[in-house]
């Protein structure tokens, strides 16, 4: 939990914890094959008043993602589609950037 608060905002924390609990409940671990393509970072113009936020858009290529059973270490066969994702980041008062939200949809990106 402490490590997660260094990565996500308080608003995004319940969603992230829910995803971790879902993986743990299914005895699943994502071990390798994470690929992020076509990354575009957008930082608002300083005159917009939103200088402490940024938008990161990318393709989460899951074609090589490997899922393992956390107890046996056995690879669980999966065919996962790519996800087009947008992450909104916010800079906290401590100067750290954290994920405020992630929105995604299946895509052939």
Mean pLDDT of 49-74: 90
**Bridge partner residues of 104 (DSSP):** 85
Residue-wise burial string across 35-70, b where 16 or more C-beta atoms lie within 10 A, e elsewhere: eeeeeeeeeeeeeeeeeebbebebbbbbeeeebbee
In three-state secondary structure terms, 86 is strand
pLDDT band at 42 (very low <50, low <70, confident <90, very high): very high
69 or 44, greater pLDDT: 69
d(CA 9, CA 92): 8
CA 108 – CA 48 distance, rounded (Å) = 33
Lowest-pLDDT range, 39-43, 51-55, 57-61, 97-101?
A: 51-55
Beta bridge partners of 67: 30, 76
Residue ranges in the chain assigned as alpha helix (H): 2-5, 13-25
Give pTM, 2 decimals: 0.78
């Amino acid at each position: 939990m402490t490590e997660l608060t260094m990565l996500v905002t308080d608003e995004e924390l319940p969603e992230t914890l829910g995803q971790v609990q879902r993986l743990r409940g299914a005895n699943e671990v994502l071990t390798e094959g994470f690929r992020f393509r076509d990354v575009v970072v957008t930082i608002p113009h300083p005159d917009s008043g939103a200088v402490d936020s940024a938008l990161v858009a990318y393709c989460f290529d899951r074609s090589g993602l490997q899922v393992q059973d956390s107890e046996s270490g056995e690879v669980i066969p999966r065919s996962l589609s790519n996800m087009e994702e947008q992450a909104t980041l916010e800079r906290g008062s401590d100067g750290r950037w954290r994920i405020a939200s992630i929105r995604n949809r299946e895509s052939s990106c």
